Structure 1
Amino acid sequence: MLNKKQLTSIGFSDKQAVVYLALLELGPSAVSEISRRAGINRTTGYDILEMLVSEGLVSPLGKSKKQKYVAENPEKIVGFAENQIKKAQAILLEAKKLAPELKSIYRKKERPIVKFYEGKEGIKQVFEDTLTAKSEIVGYACAEPMQKSIPEFYFEYLPQRIAKGIKARGIMPDTSFMHKIVKNDRKELRQSRLVAKEKLDLEIEINIYDNKVMMVSWAENLGILIESEKIAKAQKQIFELAWQATGIIKQKT
């Protein structure tokens, strides 16, 4: 049997749904009868009926004081649903137009924006943000904790980064696990430098890109995203110094 939930799922409001169902059950009826059956007051009932008239789902009968309303052929709800899609598409188009302007206002904030993400889903969110990178991603990492914590996501994330052509450079602990990872550096658009584990025993991952610094603490199940031109610039400079230093170490060994 048709119910309110089915109608709201295609774009009816709760009140539109109960009024429309009441009218279908009653047949041609006055506002007072329809409102009583729908469980709403007469004024609201009249307003809802006029909305349904404008959508082509209901028609008024006559213009007398005791005017009645009748439901149109129920097949017209297909046209109603199509109109809802058109409205949603128009809203989406307008949102896309507004987004750059809103973003420019959003970025005018002088203070850094710091966001915290908890749990595995939160950590996935901070990694997904790196897929928006316009620049190379640089940072410090060990892939093993990520594979252990969110294994299915690890194997989803990497192909997405590669498909987007986002390059990466990383300084990582020298472990047997990481040796397996760096063998794929070229095809995974990555450059890696390994540092003795006793000097770089990472329990976190840090990625720096665009104007952002992303950090994940695996032990604490926590992700942090900092958006700041100055902080990102400073972290990139520190990374470049570390990158050069690891190159010197590699040449000496």
Structure 2
Amino acid sequence: MQSLETILQSVGISERAIQVYLRLLDTGPASARQLADNLSIPRPSVYDHLKLLVSNDLVIERQQENKRIFAVGDTNVIQHLLRDKIKSLEDSTATFTRLLPTLQVQAKSIEPKIKFYVGVDGIKSVLRDLLWYENIETYTMWPISDMVHVLGREYLEQLNRKRIRNRISIKGVWPSDKIVSLQKYPFLGTGKGHLRELRVAPPQMTWSMSYWLYADKAAFISSKKEVFGFLVHSQDFAELMKMQFDAIWSLAKPLPKQPPYIDDFLRTV
């Protein structure tokens, strides 16, 4: 019944009302008192939930021996509710699409926004913002061995799965003294499937803090000693950082050839 519960939630039916609906579906017609006893819910609350279900034609009411009896209605109604919800979302999406250019102009006229986060969970919040985007090219300067230590293998695997699904590509530069094995960490692989192109900075260049440029934002992540992050939302700042990235990219060399390995990661995307 979990899938049905999820569907009912998606069309605006409350959790308690869903419990009432599922009980009627399982046991058949019942009075409000019977439902209250079976579900351990106060009878006045049961009536409120039944009112919601009846108003959506999910439940029907009838009189039987001077009692109000409730039963599940036509289950095809759920499909109609879903179609109405989809239509409403499509209308809202169309309206938002029309408003988006104006909103973007207004947003650019506002002073830069900076959000600061502390701890590993805070760093993950910084990176979560990236995953709202689709079909974009991004640019990273990551001391990757440090980032694996800070964020962990499992998190980075999932981050890269979502990134690839969203078709977010990367041009990245690693310090030469902080390269990791792609055989050990295949989710950091390069090429068309991984949507990643990597280069290695000149030996005299190294760093402990990371940044990730995307859209008009720059996400920064500190070293493993300090563990903090911040997100700068500024077109001018993002363009400045992109100029720096391009300069370092032009000096960087392709990632040194690594031993052959079987890349099973992309099968999990």
TM-score range, shorter chain: 0.5 to 0.7
Q: Structure 2 regions of 5+ residues with no counterpart?
A: 34-41, 183-187, 254-269
| TM-score calculated relative to the size of structure 2 | 0.59
Q: How far does the alpha carbon of each residue in 1:91-140 deviate from its partner, in whole angstroms, 9 at most, with x for none? A: 43334334434544542222223334444344334334445264432232
Q: How far does the alpha carbon of each residue in 1:147-171 deviate from its partner, in whole angstroms, 9 at most, with x for none? A: 2232112223335545655443333
Among 169, 189, 193, which residue is 2:200 paired with? Answer: 193
Question: Structure 2: how far apart are the matches of 1:221 and 1:231?
Answer: 23
Paired amino acid for 1:24? A
Among 187, 207, 221, which residue is 2:212 paired with? Answer: 207
2:123 aligned residue: 123
Count residues in correspondence: 218
Could you say what secondary structure the match of 1:196 adopts? coil
Q: How far does the alpha carbon of each residue in 1:216-242 deviate from its partner, in whole angstroms, 9 at most, with x for none? A: 124343332222221111111122233
Paired amino acid for 1:203? S
Question: Structure 1: how far apart are the matches of 2:53 and 2:95?
Answer: 28
Question: Structure 1: how far apart are the matches of 2:119 and 2:9?
Answer: 32
1:113 aligned residue: 113
2:138 aligned residue: 137
Question: Structure 2: how far apart are the matches of 1:159 and 1:133?
Answer: 13
Q: How far does the alpha carbon of each residue in 1:14-67 deviate from its partner, in whole angstroms, 9 at most, with x for none? A: 58988x98x92369xxxxxxxxx8337xxxx69975972662623466xxxxx9
CA contact (8 A) 1:53 1:59 kept: no
Pairs within 5 Å for 1:161-200: 161-162=163-164, 166-175=168-177, 177-178=178-179, 180=181, 185-186=190-191, 188=194, 189-196=196-203, 199-200=205-206
Could you say what secondary structure the match of 1:138 adopts? strand
Among all aligned residue pairs of Structure 1 and Structure 2, give the percentage whose two residues are the same amino acid: 17
Could you say what secondary structure the match of 2:202 adopts? strand
| Aligned-residue RMSD, C-alpha | 4.4
Change (3 A) 1:235 1:134: farther
Which structure: larger Rg?
Answer: 1
Question: Structure 1: how far apart are the matches of 2:171 and 2:143?
Answer: 12
CA contact (8 A) 2:141 2:212 kept: yes
| TM-score calculated relative to the size of structure 1 | 0.62
Q: Structure 1 regions of 5+ residues with no counterpart?
A: 28-36, 62-66, 249-253
Pairs within 5 Å for 1:1-253: 11=13, 24-25=30-31, 38-39=43-44, 49=51, 52=54, 55=57, 57-59=59-61, 69-72=68-71, 74=72, 76=73, 78-79=75-76, 81-101=78-98, 103-107=100-104, 108-109=106-107, 110-131=110-131, 132=133, 134-148=135-149, 149-162=151-164, 166-175=168-177, 177-178=178-179, 180=181, 185-186=190-191, 188=194, 189-196=196-203, 199-200=205-206, 202-219=207-224, 220-244=226-250, 246=251
- Following superposition, the deviation at residue 214 of structure 1 comes to 1.2
Question: Structure 2: how far apart are the matches of 1:47 and 1:185?
Answer: 54
